[in-house]
Structure 1
Amino acid sequence: MYTARQKVYWFAINSRISVFLLQVVFNAICSDHYADAFKTPSDPNEKYLLLDGTIEFLLGGLTRWDAQYYIHIAKYGYTYENTLAFFPLFPLSLKYITVVLNNIGSLILSYSNIIVIIGFVINFICFVKATLILYDLTEVVFKNTNVAYRAAILFCINPASIFFTALYTESMFAYLTFYSMLESTSNNPCVFISLGLSTLVRSNGLINIGFPIYTWLRNLFTNTIPNYISENQLYHSNKKSLLFNFRHIFISVSQIISVIILSLLPFCFLQIYNYTEFCKLNYNSSFPLHVKQYAQNNNLLLLGKQEFPWCLFKMPIAYSYVQRKYWNVGFLRYYQLRQIPNFCLAFPILYLMMKCSICFIKEHKSKFYTLEFFTGETVKDKNHQVYPIEMFVFVMHGLFLTLFSIFMVHIQVSTRLLCSASPILYWYCALETMPKLSNDSKEIEYENHRNILSKWKVFFFTQQQYLCIEKLIFGYFLGYTIVGCFMFSNFLPWT
């Protein structure tokens, strides 16, 4: 018999194996589409060794689209201006682990394929850890094992599943983001480590800093200030106690300022590094000849060869400039008739995220006129409350990302962006698919008896009857998982 957390652990592993096998099959039975996309230049001097063909057959479907950029950065560093759109923690992890292990595998595998294997393993581990942390986070917020279990299982088959296994940053970012959320709920001062690392994986890691700020504000309103006011009423009789509480407020403020600064430091150092590397006109690049040749053939700007316009900005940050120049990212820039299919592709997740936000706001609308989201002084109606008040900061975070996706980014990217950054998608879908109980019913188990005894059987595989909403949600999650494996592994456009 398996506990809920053990079931989540094994299903996370089984789901990654399933996605891996699906992309192998789809990549084998269908020839790759010719995509006019970036492909890292191959080294003509790299030898084709014994197991290279096997690895390319098994993992080749996981190296499509943006994965090529991460492989390129791991092999050659930041060579072209457009590579600055991809943050360094994931590719540099590939690089340095590969350097360590290259001496072991270099006799049977090329350097490039060792990078691919390392990337697959990193994402496998990060995904399993992210799943378990999402389970723990959900238990903290909902205090309900059934919701935690169901949300974590849905995460394992989320609509962007292929990107959590491919050489993308989704798994690493989800792991660091969910971990930062969990540590923020307990006001851990060391949360700046995971927050800082998340800003080196994706740019939207910056808004994760809002979680410790929110927790600090809640503690300020619920503990520090009331204690200070209480002692202030006894000012004449207990001056030492008043001084102690004032010092406590000062320490609390200093702590949150330190967390913010330390969380932002890695991102700031990255911008300084980019400026130093790309904006020195006398920089003598020593890139391999095939890397330089690829730049000439594809009209790419090579480090050390040109003066880049963003270097002259008052705040010389390359990211937004590169996104706008190479991918036409900007406010409403993607609103074109020919992009209607991509809007349709992104519609389900945008609808679910907005629906969750609206339902939460409707349930707690009276609290938006008070400080109850920060003081926690509210009467909980267990018979009617579906969304706990602790969801507030997560809903605001998810709502911001949803609106940002609608107006700013390539709309089809919304699916993988939101699936890896916000837990409210899984919470809402878990609540919508939970069995409805009558008032006199006892709380159900998270799984039926047969499923509890199995490592891989879960509710949506063995459930005999489905409500319409359940069919839509399970169909959306599983459908996008399967179709995504087919499309991505064959270099076809996907989310």
Structure 2
Amino acid sequence: MSSRIGVIQEHTRILRQLSLLSYALTALLAYLASYLPLFDSSPRTIINGASRSWTSTFAYPLLRWDVFHYGHTAQYGYVYEHQWAFFPGPSLVMRGTSEFLHFLGVISQRSTWETVLVGGAVIASLCDTSTTLYHLSLHHLRSPSLAFLATLLSLLPSSPATLRLVPYSEPYFTMLSYRGMLYCARRQWLAAVCAFALAGAFRSNGVMLAGFVLWGIVVEPSLHKQQISPGKVIHALALTLIATFPFIYHQYRAYIAFCTDVTSAAPWCESFPPSIYTYVQARYWGVGFLRYWTLPQLPNFLLAAPVLAVLLWSTTYYVLHALNPRLRAVLSGKDFGASAADPSPFLGSSLAPHALHALIFTLLLLLNSHTQIVLRLAASMPFTYWTAARLVMESPRWGRWWVAWSVVWGAISVILWAVFLPPA
């Protein structure tokens, strides 16, 4: 036992150091690449990259793509209808940290473009998920070496800039999602839904995380033929409501802002349920079932293909070869845990909610969204890195391809970010 604890401590120490190195290399590459010509020069109209101010120098490479929306909302609140597509978490972090740094005297101004960008980036840099993912992997894979491998592979994400460097939703959302998943693994349900609720303040898909709580409290015991009392079901639903509260509250705030005056109510106010989020996503971003499946978007599908292929293969394989046999065993009267021992640690029964979550989320991104954002959001699904570890261990050739692609594409994506080129 003591040797195992020593191994775990050594692993976490190494992972923290490598995570810091990964962040430093990403930041260095982004700042060097920011001196290249910009495809879109709009950041220069807001921030003077040649300024001698350290805040301008620090903030200049950060202002790309959706950061324009988050930064504007951090300073002025929700001004335009299309801004409601973005949840308030990142903007609140940016503004709050900016105010705090001003209070400490670190920055001279408060809530300017430079200071809110610096504030958001400071907190994003602290959103290290390596230790949490390691312990989550240790719980599910039951092997320190496999947990270490999976976490090592997570240091090669498919969108390094948006995961660790810039004030996007992904750094905060991924950290809080992992923390909530770890609490679920430890059956600390209240802590889990609090983490999931906080994650939901950053991204709409945070509502899906409530499924982990429902699985752990209701579905998993049912599969083990345990009787589920009405009180336990009510308890699970109440916890789910907590996890989904930020999404509901975001819609409520918009309804109050746009729909209370019937003489000038927005078109979406008559929908049921009235949701500004789905309305602005469809109107301003063209989100909808297969609406992104057009020939001009083919390059984005090709860029996302490696991650999509890995996730769709691994989740489908798990459902067909691990979950389905167990469900059939339960339906035939056998206990869920009485089925044959898992032939692979990557097919363990505890992975079921993660596989289902990853499968459903990946299909939503493929069929109903801007598909290339899977490059950013794959990091929020631990199943991505468990699959990568499986490739390395069970299919070394494909594992080497995955590692090589992760390194090459990760570096390219940072440069593309810095020069304001897609994918966003």
**Aligned equivalents of 1:374 and 1:194: distance in 2?**
32
**Aligned equivalents of 1:71 and 1:101: distance in 2?**
16
SS of 1:3's partner is helix
Q: Which residue of 2 aligns with 1:200?
A: 201
Contact 1:40 1:68 in 2 (8 A): no
Within-5 A mapping of 1:205-354: 205-217=206-218, 218-222=220-224, 224-225=226-227, 249-281=229-261, 307-354=265-312
Paired residues, what number?
410
Contact 1:224 1:249 in 2 (8 A): no
Within-5 A mapping of 1:449-464: none
Amino acid aligned to 2:422: P
Query: Alpha-carbon deviation of 1:371?
Result: 2.9
From 20, 25, 29, the counterpart of 2:27: 20
**Aligned equivalents of 1:254 and 1:280: distance in 2?**
32
Query: Alpha-carbon deviation of 1:50?
Result: 12
Contact 1:52 1:109 in 2 (8 A): no
Which stretch of the first structure deviates more once superposed, 345-354 or 2-11?
2-11
Higher Rg: 1
Amino acid aligned to 1:74: A
**Aligned equivalents of 1:258 and 1:362: distance in 2?**
32
1:490 aligns with 2:419: yes
Query: Alpha-carbon deviation of 1:182?
Result: 1.2
SS of 2:201's partner is coil
Contact 2:259 2:266 in 1 (8 A): yes
Q: Taking structure 1 as the reference length, what is the TM-score of the superposition?
A: 0.76
Closer/same/farther in 2, CA of residues 376 and 392 from structure 1, 3 Å limit: same
From 361, 364, 374, the counterpart of 1:414: 374
Q: Which has the higher helix share?
A: 2
Within-5 A mapping of 1:44-55: 53-55=53-55
Q: Which residue of 1 aligns with 2:384?
A: 425
Query: Alpha-carbon deviation of 1:59?
Result: 3.5
Closer/same/farther in 2, CA of residues 389 and 40 from structure 1, 3 Å limit: farther
Which sections of structure 1, spanning at least 5 residues, go unmatched? 226-247, 283-304, 437-466
Q: Which residue of 2 aligns with 1:461?
A: none
Closer/same/farther in 2, CA of residues 49 and 14 from structure 1, 3 Å limit: closer
**Aligned equivalents of 2:44 and 2:244: distance in 1?**
31
From 322, 325, 340, the counterpart of 1:379: 340
Which stretch of the first structure deviates more once superposed, 104-113 or 151-160?
104-113
Amino acid aligned to 2:415: F
**Aligned equivalents of 2:255 and 2:394: distance in 1?**
55
Q: Which residue of 2 aligns with 1:66?
A: 66
Closer/same/farther in 2, CA of residues 471 and 52 from structure 1, 3 Å limit: same
Which sections of structure 2, spanning at least 5 residues, go unmatched? 1-6
Query: Alpha-carbon deviation of 1:265?
Result: 2.4
**Aligned equivalents of 2:231 and 2:327: distance in 1?**
29
Contact 1:173 1:202 in 2 (8 A): yes
1:107 aligns with 2:108: yes
For residues 207-260 of structure 1, give each alpha carbon's deviation from its aligned partner in whole angstroms, at most 9, with x where no partner exists: 1111011111223554852xxxxxxxxxxxxxxxxxxxxxx9354233212211
**Aligned equivalents of 2:212 and 2:238: distance in 1?**
14
Contact 1:139 1:148 in 2 (8 A): yes
Amino acid aligned to 2:185: T
Contact 1:51 1:109 in 2 (8 A): no
1:131 aligns with 2:133: no
Amino acid aligned to 2:325: S
Contact 1:429 1:473 in 2 (8 A): yes
Q: Which residue of 2 aligns with 1:122?
A: 123
Q: Which residue of 1 aligns with 2:159?
A: 160
Contact 1:52 1:113 in 2 (8 A): no
**Aligned equivalents of 2:335 and 2:65: distance in 1?**
43
Greater relative contact order (Cα < 8 A, sep 6+): 1
Query: Alpha-carbon deviation of 1:315?
Result: 2.1
SS of 1:494's partner is coil
Contact 1:78 1:84 in 2 (8 A): yes
Q: Which residue of 1 aligns with 2:4?
A: none
SS of 2:292's partner is coil
Q: Taking structure 2 as the reference length, what is the TM-score of the superposition?
A: 0.88
**Aligned equivalents of 1:72 and 1:63: distance in 2?**
11
SS of 2:288's partner is coil
Query: Alpha-carbon deviation of 1:306?
Result: 6.3
Q: Which residue of 1 aligns with 2:326?
A: 367
Query: Alpha-carbon deviation of 1:375?
Result: 3.4
SS of 2:256's partner is helix
Query: Alpha-carbon deviation of 1:137?
Result: 0.7
Contact 1:40 1:72 in 2 (8 A): no
**Aligned equivalents of 1:381 and 1:101: distance in 2?**
51
C-alpha RMSD over aligned residues: 2.9
Q: Which residue of 1 aligns with 2:362?
A: 402
SS of 1:167's partner is coil
Query: Alpha-carbon deviation of 1:341?
Result: 0.9
**Aligned equivalents of 1:338 and 1:110: distance in 2?**
38
Q: Which residue of 1 aligns with 2:10?
A: 3
Which stretch of the first structure deviates more once superposed, 264-273 or 425-434?
264-273
Contact 2:282 2:288 in 1 (8 A): yes
Contact 1:196 1:262 in 2 (8 A): yes
